């Protein structure tokens, strides 16, 4: 795997399958808040976040609000579930944490899959896992409290990037939860009062990981278990 991008999905491919994609992969550098697609845009490329880069799926709801339903980091890709090109984005796909993403034209992926059954299976398995994430998020939003979901999203982000300090603002957390910024700030203040979290400008610091885990719902664990069973055990942290 020497020389491959820092993306688990690409690194798990066998040599022959990766070589089918390699000539078409193009690295791009994106910053937080850069938008890959707006809802309704035509999707013509798959993007593979590398290293700490994170992309979120923000689904529009009433009152011009959006609710984030999925985080994708170096374990996977954005655009896989779009199917055959051309396809339309249902959600806004926005960079949550900046970094390098590998861009692959969707048409190039389709042509490579026509040449390799194992490549087609690998991406089908990942699409299954991503769909499971979306289902779990829907159930989580309906069944769990704001505090449980906030702890889950913070843990999910931390698992994607590593380290105890997470470059996550109150406004970004509010988008994940589908609540106002003031509500998200009250939740953070509650965790701070219990010495579970601390905040710095533009970041959240985890002080007590065990206590934060105890506050979270089990949705991350369910998704990781499914990912392990379906996709061969690569690390995945979702919400």
Q: How far is CA 54 from CA 32, 47, 48, 95, 151, in A?
A: 9, 11, 10, 6, 18
HSE on the CB side for 30, CA within 13 Å? 26
pLDDT in tens, the chain (239 residues): 557 999 999 999 999 999 999 999 999 999 988 999 988 888 889 999 999 899 999 887 777 777 778 889 998 999 885 555 567 888 889 998 899 999 999 999 999 999 999 999 999 999 888 888 888 988 988 899 999 999 999 998 888 888 888 888 888 888 888 888 899 999 999 999 999 999 998 899 999 999 999 999 999 888 888 888 887 644 333 34
Q: Are 150 and 184 in contact (CB under 8 A)?
A: yes
Alpha-carbon span 132 to 200, nearest angstrom:
34
What pLDDT score was predicted for residue 237?
36
Alpha-carbon span 42 to 82, nearest angstrom:
10
What is the sign, positive or negative, of the torsion defined by CA atoms of 138, 170, 153, 193?
negative
What pLDDT score was predicted for residue 235?
39
Q: How far is CA 112 from CA 20, 24, 26, 120, 125, in A?
A: 6, 10, 16, 8, 16
Alpha-carbon span 47 to 78, nearest angstrom:
5
Comparing CA positions, the residue from 32, 58, 76 lying closest to residue 203 is 32
Q: Are 89 and 83 in contact (CB under 8 A)?
A: no
User: How close are the terminal C-alpha atoms of the chain, in Å?
Assistant: 28
What pLDDT score was predicted for residue 238?
38
Comparing CA positions, the residue from 187, 186, 176 lying closest to residue 65 is 176
What pLDDT score was predicted for residue 225?
87
Query: Taking the model in full, what pTM does it have?
Result: 0.86
- Contacts of residue 231, defined as CB under 8 A and 6 or more positions apart, other chains included, come to 125, 126, 128, 129
Coil, strand or helix: which one is 233? coil
């Amino acid at each position: 795997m020497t020389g491959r991008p820092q993306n688990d999905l690409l690194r798990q491919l066998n040599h022959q399958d990766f070589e089918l994609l390699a000539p078409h992969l193009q690295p791009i550098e994106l910053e937080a808040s850069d938008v890959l697609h707006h809802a309704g845009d035509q999707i013509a490329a798959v993007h593979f976040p590398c290293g700490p880069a994170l992309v979120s799926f923000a689904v529009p709801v009433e009152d011009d609000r959006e609710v984030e339903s999925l985080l994708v980091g170096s374990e996977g890709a954005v655009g896989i579930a779009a199917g055959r090109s051309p396809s339309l984005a249902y959600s806004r796909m926005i960079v949550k944490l900046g970094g390098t993403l590998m861009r692959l034209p969707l048409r190039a992926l389709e042509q490579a899959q026509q040449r390799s059954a194992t490549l087609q299976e690998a991406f089908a398995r990942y699409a299954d896992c991503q769909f499971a994430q979306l289902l779990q998020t829907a159930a989580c939003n309906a069944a769990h409290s704001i505090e449980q979901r906030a702890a889950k999203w913070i843990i999910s982000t931390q698992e994607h990037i590593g380290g105890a300090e997470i470059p996550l603002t109150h406004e970004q957390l509010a988008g994940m939860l589908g609540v106002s910024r003031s509500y998200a700030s009250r939740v953070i203040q509650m965790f701070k009062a219990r010495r579970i979290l601390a905040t710095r400008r533009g970041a959240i610091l985890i002080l007590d990981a065990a206590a934060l885990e105890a506050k979270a719902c089990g949705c991350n664990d369910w998704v990781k278990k499914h990912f392990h069973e379906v996709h061969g055990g690569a690390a995945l942290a979702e919400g």
